[in-house]
């Protein structure tokens, strides 16, 4: 069975692009903000990986991370943050939310993103550059 990735981004073209790139290997669920993502998660769904943007309307990425942190349900769910913010502003994200395994800045190389996701989902520790 294909592993499921929850993609959260408020940019529609970005969602389409990510869905096209990742959709070949994974089952994709998309949400255009944290509110939709949270509703989906609260309905008892559990993805194998969450890829989220930070700046979004209604419920943003930081808030979504709050929800995931310290929860039994998502204890072993890795999160990859994909945002336009500089590393300096996102460096402490993994402290705020232990689920954050990787922070990738936009613009990004989709080929490398695929690799990182491959590592995260196979349980191999990735070396963050």
Positions that interact with other proteins (CB under 8 A): 9-14, 16-17, 20-21, 32-33, 35-36, 38-39, 42-44, 46, 56-59, 63-64, 66-67, 69-73, 75, 84, 96-97, 106-111
Encoded tokens for 41: 């998660």
**How many C-alpha atoms does 9 have within 13 Å on its Cβ side?**
22
The residue (of 81 and 97) whose beta carbon lies closer to other proteins is 97
Nearer to other proteins, 56 or 120 (CB): 56
> Which positions ≥6 away from 98 have C-beta within 8 Å?
69
Give min distance, CB of 11 to other proteins, in A. 4
The residue (of 99 and 124) whose beta carbon lies closer to other proteins is: 99
Six token digits for residue 75: 């204890």
Closest C-alpha among 21, 36, 45 to residue 116: 21
Tell me how far apart the alpha carbons of residues 34 and 64 are, in angstroms, rounded to a whole number.
6
> Of 112, 49, 129, 53, whose CA–CA distance to 85 is shortest?
53
**Residue 19 C-beta: closest distance to other proteins, Å:** 9
Residue 21 C-beta: closest distance to other proteins, Å? 6
Residue 99 or 120 having the CB closest to other proteins: 99
């Amino acid at each position: 069975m294909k592993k499921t990735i929850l993609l959260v981004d408020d940019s529609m073209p970005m969602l389409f692009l990510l869905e096209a790139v990742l959709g070949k290997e994974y089952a994709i669920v998309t949400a255009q903000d944290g509110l939709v993502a949270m509703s989906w998660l609260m309905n008892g769904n559990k993805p194998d990986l969450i890829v989220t943007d930070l700046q979004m309307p209604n419920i943003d990425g930081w808030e979504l991370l709050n929800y995931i942190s310290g929860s039994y349900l998502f204890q072993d769910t890795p999160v990859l943050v994909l945002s336009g913010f500089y590393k300096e502003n996102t460096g402490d994200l993994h402290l705020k939310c232990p689920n954050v395994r990787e922070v990738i800045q936009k613009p990004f190389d989709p080929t490398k993103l695929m690799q990182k996701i491959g590592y995260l989902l196979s349980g191999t520790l990735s070396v963050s550059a």
